[in-house]
Chains A and B, each alone.
Chain A
Amino acid sequence: MGYHLNFNLIWRHFDKLWGGLILSLELAVLSIAIGIVIGLVLATWYVSAGRVARAVIGAYVEFIRNVPLILLVYLVFYGLPKALNLAYDAPTSFVATLSIYSGAYLVEVFRSGLEAVPRGQLDAGKAIGLTPWQRFFHVRLPTMIRITLPALSNTFISLFKDTSVASVIAVPELTYGAQWINFNTFRIVEVYLVVTAMYLVTGYGLLFALRLVERRFRVR
């Protein structure tokens, strides 16, 4: 006996998926925004820091990169509030986790980007009399951003997919919406087909848009 696909129940609850997709995007955008700040600050610090600071930043990066994201999500949502006597809701907890997570990856991206800025450009900045901060903002940073843009796009796409992990702490993003519909309609194949398509289309759409941005900012 074959399984008959029936999408009617999916469409009836489609607002759950649509709302979930929007929330997923919001979580990804917020997290990468905060992650970029973390990454920039730590990478900038790293390239000019002494051995101790480098070791501390290195330890953060290594820790985050070697612990599964889902574990970090549990730690921050269930562990930290108990340990530190804090209170926050699940979406806040997840954004904090994903920010710290993406920050660790972006430190590496930005650090290698900063180190890839040709020495000669920095010399030229010195030679016209720019101060260290002016050299950083007007010479090093703009070139570094252009160098790292492709890696930044890839990180963002990954983060968008990683938002599905938020379903484990009941954040009503796209994957959680899919689970809800499955529990309530038992149309497991249909709902995951639709949701997979939604992740794919959104992911490719983002990638296409970001590649356009990269091309706009590419310098030879």
Chain B
Amino acid sequence: MIQSTQGGAATHAPLLAIEGLTKSFGKVEVLRSVDLGVAKGEVVTVIGPSGSGKTTLLRCVNFLETYDSGSIRIDGREVGYKDAGGRVRRGERELAGIRADTGMVFQSFNLFPHLTAAENVMLGLRKVRGKSKAEARAAAEHWLSRVGLGHKADSLPGELSGGQQQRVGIARAVAMEPKILLLDEITSALDPELVGEVLEVVRSLAAEGMTMLMVTHEIAFARDASHRIVFMADGKVAAAGPPSEVLAAASHNQRLGAFLARFRASHF
């Protein structure tokens, strides 16, 4: 079992600090003043109904989406904007540097289809981290072994199963040694029998102290693997706390109760 870092986290500024975050797509307000902190080594899981803004929240954290107001700080540094006589969008090079320290794993894997598993992992190591080909290859082989794919290093994504592709996706993200890993429903596109192998990798990363902010519909997994669960509804944090508390709150939080009822039958 993973130990909670709740007590310690309170005394330090969190690694990821989101405050008053708002974001609209046109007229639609998708995030409505979201506050959320993730301490170093902490695993926080975001759950909530479809359309509640979970993906948007994660995408804002590495600035794949711009945000309208509020702040997102990683290690105290604002992600997308700087204060230069007003709120100014950071330049592309600066953004690239910030994103390199923020790993992301996608629901649809998003591997580079023309590159082998190893090359997928190596691209960022070579072009962003400036490693030599040999160093990058060694790191890629190390991480692919860690996700159980040492023997698939030279396979193209199209030759791999969904579960294998997603594990390459994880290796590609963690090989960059990010400060925090963002995981957006990474098992939702997988056949049920392939979900376990991917969650196992996430569990082992958590056990090693990787800081993670993830979105998942695997409630049982969220309960076991996270330090904290955040329930989002309508672009707001509707409930947050240790898994046992949040899941127990379902009895008096109607929306949460309704949301979780869908999972009860199969997962509890």
Interface residues of A (CB under 8 A from B): 118, 120-121, 123-132, 134, 138-139, 142-143, 146, 217, 219-220
Contact = CB atoms under 8 A, between A and B. Distances in A.
Interface stretch (B79-87, B106-114, B146-154): B106-114
Interface of A is mostly: helix
A161 B170 CA distance: 49
B215 to A, nearest CB: 15
Nearest to A123: B64
Interface string B110-123: 11111000000001
B127 interface: yes
Given A127-B64, A129-B99, A138-B123, A120 B173 contact: no
Contacts of B102: 127
Interface string B91-110: 01100111111111010111
A130 B158 CA distance: 23
Contact of A127 (B92, B114, B127, B173): B173
A139 B114 CA distance: 9
Contact of B99 (A121, A126, A146): A126
Contacts of B103: 127
6 contacts: A120-B110, A123-B110, A126-B62, A129-B97, A134-B127, A219-B113
A138 B120 CA distance: 11
Interface of B is mostly: mixed
A17 B198 CA distance: 64
B124 interface: yes
Interface of B: 62, 64, 92-93, 96-104, 106, 108-114, 123-124, 127-128, 156-158, 172-173, 176
A201 B102 CA distance: 56
Given A139-B112, A219-B158, A128 B128 contact: yes
A120 B112 CA distance: 9
B113 A220 contact: yes
Contacts of A120: 106, 108-110
Closest 8 CB pairs of A and B: A129-B100, A220-B158, A128-B124, A120-B110, A124-B110, A127-B104, A129-B128, A219-B113
A143 B114 contact: yes
Contacts of A128: 99-100, 123-124, 128, 172-173, 176
